[in-house]
Amino acid sequence: MNILVVDDDLELCTLLSRFLEKHGYKVHSAGDALQALDILERFPIGLVLTDFMMPHMDGIRFTETLRSDPRHEQTPVILLTAFSSDELAERGMRRGVALTLEKPVDFDRLLTLVRFAQ
């Protein structure tokens, strides 16, 4: 499965990418939602991991944009956030986010969620 990691924190993006690649996934990464939308035009993506707070467009707005494209209306999205709350998780789910994962990222939990989202 191809996974798209979207986060403006380059170090975290690299860590997530290496971790997922180590577990057999093909990973594309983007520093913001605009770069991510470009990648989604060029590659088949089976899962998106996106940060909530990013320049240009937050992760929930990015998910809404993704859902407006029939090619990606069913692509699972996991929202990564340091600002976790029930309200944020609920708001994300109403807009198409499948799951929310708190930062700092628990990599074992991440792997479980990725496998669940397949």
CA 68 to chain centre: 16
Domains identified in the chain, total number: 1
pLDDT one-digit tens code per residue, 34-82: 999 999 999 999 999 999 999 889 999 999 999 999 999 999 999 998 8
Range of the domain at 44: 2-117
Looking at residues 100-111, what average pLDDT do you find? 92
CATH of the domain at 64: 3.40.50.2300
Beta strands in 24-112 (DSSP E): 26-30, 47-51, 77-81, 99-102
